[in-house]
Amino acid sequence: MSRAEPGASRLYHRVVVWLLFVILVLPLAGTFLYSIATEWSASLLPSGLTGKWYLQLWADPRFLYAFGHSLVVCVSALLLATVLILPLLFVVHYHFPKLDGLMNVLILLPFAVPPVVSSVGLLQLYGSGPLAMTGTPWILIGCYFTVALPFMYRAITNNLQAIHLRDLMDAAHLLGASTWQAALLVVLPNLRKGLMVALLLSFSFLFGEFVFANLLVGTQYETLQVYLNNMRNSSGHFNSALVISYFFFVLVLTWAATLLNKDRSE
C-alpha cells in the first residue's frame, strides 16, 4: 500500500509481516545451521562449521537413488495427470457442463479418505491377484495421480472459466478451425498458467509425500521421504543436510517455474 498512513499503524503492519516471516524462517534457519555444524549440543552456538554432512549426503548412492525414485514417481504421476486431465476438462466444460458438479464431488474423495485408510484399502486390492503391484513404483504413480487430481482439476477449471471457452471455440470455428485445431492452437496455450500452477503445487506436495510411499512401497522402491525416515537413527546433522537439500531443490524448482511462467508480453 502506497497511500500515506499514520506512522504507528504502518509500523504495526510491518511488525506483523516480519513476525510471520521470522516464525516461518526460524525452523529452517535452525536446521540449516545444524546441517553445517561440526558439533552443536551443549553450547549456545555450534562449535565449528563444516560442509562434510552435505558431501557425505551427496556421495551416498542410496540417497541419490531415493532422490531419483522420487523424481521418477512424481514426474510420471504428473505426466499421466496432464495427459488424462486436460482432455477430460475440455470435454467436461465444452460438451457436458453438467458433469462439472459430479467432478467436484469426485475430486474431493482423495481428501475425504485419510491416506492411512486408503492405503490399507489399496494394499488389499493390489496386494495379490491380477493387479499385484504393491512394492512397485506403479502403484505409487497411480496413487499419486489421484492425489494430484484435485489440484489439477481446480486450478485448470478456474483458468478455463476465465477465458470464455465457448466464445473462443465458436470464434475459432467460424474462422475455419476444426475442433482439434481450436483446442490445440487457441485453448491449450491459454491454459498454460493454470497448468503450471497446478503442476507446481502437486509436485511440491507429492515430492514430500510420506504415508502412501511408506505403506504401499516402503524400502522396495525407496523415495526421498522414506529414505529420510529410515535414516532417522543416523546423525542429526546428516538428516538436517538432507532436509535442507530437499527444501532447496523444491525452492529452486518453484522459482525456475515461476520465471518460465512469466508472460512474455509483460
Partner 1 sequence: MSFVNVENLQKHFAETPVFKDINFSIERGEFITLLGPSGCGKSTLLRCIAGLTPVDSGSILLDGRDLVPLSPQKRDIGMVFQSYALFPNMTVQQNVAFGLRMQKVKAEESARRVAEVLHMVELDSFAQRYPHQLSGGQNQRVALARSLVTRPRLLLLDEPLSALDARIRKHLREQIRAIQQELGLTTIFVTHDQEEALVMSDRIFLMNKGNIVQSGNAQSLYTAPADAFAAGFIGNYNLLDADSASRLLQRPVHTRLAIRPEAIGLSLSGAQEAEIRSHSLLGNVIRYRVEARGVELLVDVLNRSAADLHPNGQRVSLTIAPEALCEVA
Residues of this chain that interact with partner 1 (CB under 8 A) are: 163-164, 167-168, 170-178, 181, 185-186, 189-190, 192, 265
Name every residue whose Cβ is closer than 8 Å to that of residue 1 and which is 6 or more positions away in sequence.
none
Nearer to partner 1, 195 or 217 (CB): 195
Nearer to partner 1, 41 or 265 (CB): 265
Nearer to partner 1, 129 or 189 (CB): 189
Least CB distance from residue 166 to partner 1, whole Å? Answer: 9
Asked if 230 contacts 219 with a C-beta cutoff of 8 angstroms, the reply is: yes
Least CB distance from residue 172 to partner 1, whole Å? Answer: 7
Q: Which amino acid is at 217?
A: V
Q: What are 49's strand-pairing partners?
A: 37
Q: What is the dihedral sign for C-alpha 195, 198, 203, 204?
A: positive
Least CB distance from residue 157 to partner 1, whole Å? Answer: 17
Nearer to partner 1, 14 or 164 (CB): 164
Residue 49 has φ and ψ, to the nearest 5°, of -110, 145
Least CB distance from residue 255 to partner 1, whole Å? Answer: 24
Nearer to partner 1, 59 or 174 (CB): 174
Instruction: Give the angle subtended at the CA of 203 by the CAs of 236 and 185, to the nearest 5°.
Output: 160
Task: Report the distance separating Cα 106 and Cα 31, nearest Å.
Answer: 39
Nearest to residue 86, comparing CAs of 155, 143, 138, 139?
155
Least CB distance from residue 90 to partner 1, whole Å? Answer: 16
